[in-house]
Amino acid sequence: MGAVDRAAEPVLFDLRDSGVAVLTLNRPERMNAWGGGLAHAFYRCIDRAEADPAVRVIVLTGNGRAFCAGADMGDLDTIGEATESSDTDVTQLVGERHPHFVTELRTPLIAAINGACAGIGLTQALMCDVRFAAAGAKFTTAFARRGLIAEYGISWILPRIVGWGAAQDLLLSGRTFSAEEAKALGLVKDVVAAEHLMTHTLAYAEDLARNCAPSSLAVIKSQLYRDASRNLHDASADAEKLMHESMLRPDFIEGITAFFEKRPPNFPPLKEDTP
């Protein structure tokens, strides 16, 4: 694909030698607003990364001054026609998959929030496993100020990340808050200068890719989301079974051997039958 064709792609895909795939939302003229073309391209890139055993971690970021400024609502005429239609299909705006589908990936997904992050853009960022943000980036749920509701699972994930009281504030007020407040709330792990965001995020992602067993990452991620709706007894019982299975994989032997030999581990790629 030529440089001109690539520049026109709504989502860019770059696989680094480290095993980190970087997905870049690439509609800067629309502040990477979430719409049909961008959503479909995002799903294709995620599926590509998830299917490639060379990909051990995925990093998601945006091109330009926004990470994702919310749903691409078009112009006022388009919105009016959609809301007056009795068979309005919301998937035309947000795509055919709910944001929570990324929680079911076996590959860790890290968000590098480079700028404005609002509405469904915030929901999508919250469904990532870890988030970093550029200093000065602005966040908002926005829904209450648009006559909308807490969409696509944000009312489930946000309280689990920032706590009940903070989630009530952010969802009910729809106010804008800074990356620095997001860090204080635990919504993002680190806030760094914009020019250092990708370097910082990639260093974290590449550490996972280099030192963590893909099978362990896949199982632990699955445990986190499954156990969120379980009681402690069931979660512990399931963990006992999963621990036994992990000790039968070559990853366990390699991890222990590398530890005692004081060298970096050489974990095999993730197998298809790993949960």
Q: Give the model confidence (pLDDT) of 104-160 as tens digits.
A: 999 999 999 999 999 999 999 999 999 999 999 999 998 887 787 788 889 899 999
Are 68 and 13 found together in one domain? yes
Q: Residue 267 domain-assigned?
A: no
Residue with the larger pLDDT of the pair 75 and 126: 126
Non-local (6+) Cβ contacts of 224 within 8 A are: none
Are 78 and 199 found together in one domain? yes
Are 40 and 155 found together in one domain? yes
Domain range spanning residue 251?
Answer: 212-261
The DSSP bridge partners found for residue 240 are none
At 9, is the secondary structure helix, strand, or coil? coil
* pLDDT of 82 higher than 70: no
The CATH number of the domain holding residue 237 is: 1.10.12
What crossing angle do the helices spanning 154-162 and 164-173 adopt, rounded to 10°?
130
Are 26 and 120 found together in one domain? yes
Give the model's pLDDT for residue 160: 93
The DSSP bridge partners found for residue 51 are none
Are 88 and 179 found together in one domain? yes
User: Which two tokens mark 199?
Assistant: 């370097």
* pLDDT of 27 higher than 80: yes
Q: Residue 45 domain-assigned?
A: yes
Are 46 and 178 found together in one domain? yes
Q: Residue 275 domain-assigned?
A: no
Q: Residue 272 domain-assigned?
A: no
Residue with the larger pLDDT of the pair 250 and 167: 167
Are 22 and 148 found together in one domain? yes
Non-local (6+) Cβ contacts of 30 within 8 A are: 69, 72
Give the model's pLDDT for residue 94: 65
Q: How confident is the model at residue 77 (pLDDT cuts 50, 70, 90)?
A: very low
Spatial distance between the Cα atoms of 26 and 28, rounded to a whole number of angstroms = 6
Q: Residue 274 domain-assigned?
A: no
Spatial distance between the Cα atoms of 24 and 13, rounded to a whole number of angstroms = 7
At 15, is the secondary structure helix, strand, or coil? strand
How many of the other CB atoms lie within 10 Å of CB of 222? 18
Are 112 and 216 found together in one domain? no
Are 78 and 113 found together in one domain? yes
Give the model's pLDDT for residue 226: 85
Give the model's pLDDT for residue 267: 84
Are 153 and 233 found together in one domain? no
pLDDT in tens, 91-104: 566 667 888 889 99
Are 128 and 24 found together in one domain? yes
Are 80 and 123 found together in one domain? yes
Give the model's pLDDT for residue 135: 97
Q: How confident is the model at residue 251 (pLDDT cuts 50, 70, 90)?
A: confident
Q: How confident is the model at residue 246 (pLDDT cuts 50, 70, 90)?
A: confident
* pLDDT of 75 higher than 90: no
